[in-house]
Chain A
Amino acid sequence: MSQGKNTDDQQVATQGQSRNVATQRSERPLLPPADIYEEADAIRVVADMPGVSKDGLNIEVDGTELTISGDIRVDTPEGLTASYAEIRGSQYYRQFILGREIDKERISAEMDNGELTVVLPKKESHRPRQIEVKTA
């Protein structure tokens, strides 16, 4: 998960060019499980979205809202009848509220083997500083 890998990242749509996700939701979407952790210069969100390709992924930032959604596409042969299913659905959908310290212009995302990583960089002014404790 190096910074260098982020070069061919999925473009993150900002408010102006966003698709309206609400209208595409005909059934109840799946909630992708996610890990969220804090690093010195960014917050990282890692979510499981198997079956979602880079093209089927949609990440939007609207104000303080981060929306992650993706269409599940699995190649199925003609005439397949399902006999057992643990994954039922055609879309993942999840929202998070961002803090003010996140630099929305620099959000990047990467899809690798159905695992989505979103990097939410912190603004320069919010990076940690070492506080020196003075002795009396």
Chain B
Amino acid sequence: MFEDLWRFATPQLGGRDWLREMLDDAFLDRGASDIRAVPRGTFPMVNLGATDDAVYVYVFAPGVDPKALDISIQDNVLTLRGERRLPGKGTDTEQWPVFHRRERMGGHFSRVLTLPEGVDGDATEAFSRDGVIQIKLPKRAEQKRRKIEVKAQ
């Protein structure tokens, strides 16, 4: 009858990632990594991409009010700050609900990303859909791809 109690002693990820943790431990990259690199699964998760004209950042922030997300850029360093509220007790007098599983992270978060050099912070725009915030950072003119014409003599 007490087999069930093991789940109360598990860490935040609820044992979901034990295999990954074991593998990470066994095959941990002891080499140098980027100073701003974060472990996998850090909230919010981020994808980066680029076109000829702009750098795109996709922030996967489910359950975060996009208006409450603070996005700032200085040079090529992008900072994301916000808060995610998870279900819990509403008021002080209310009881905590019984949790069977808690795999999601809550509370205040901030993430700092290094972007490629030469993005134009002033022309940056962001929009949100379905919990994904797309940030478009146009490249400065000198960083854009140029076509070089070959002159014939």
Residue positions of A touching B, CB distance < 8 A: 1, 31, 33-39, 43-44, 46, 48-53, 73-87, 111-115
Contact = CB atoms under 8 A, between A and B. Distances in A.
Interface of B: 16, 40, 42, 45-52, 54, 56, 58, 60-66, 86-87, 97-104, 116, 128-132, 134
Contacts of B104: 33-35, 46, 48
B49 A35 contact: no
B66 to A, nearest CB: 7
Given A35-B86, A74-B134, A48 B100 contact: no
20 contacts: A33-B103, A35-B86, A35-B101, A35-B104, A36-B100, A46-B87, A48-B104, A50-B62, A52-B131, A53-B130, A73-B130, A81-B51, A82-B49, A83-B48, A84-B46, A86-B47, A87-B45, A87-B60, A114-B63, A114-B130
Given A50-B132, A112-B63, A86 B40 contact: yes
Given A53-B130, A87-B45, A37 B56 contact: no
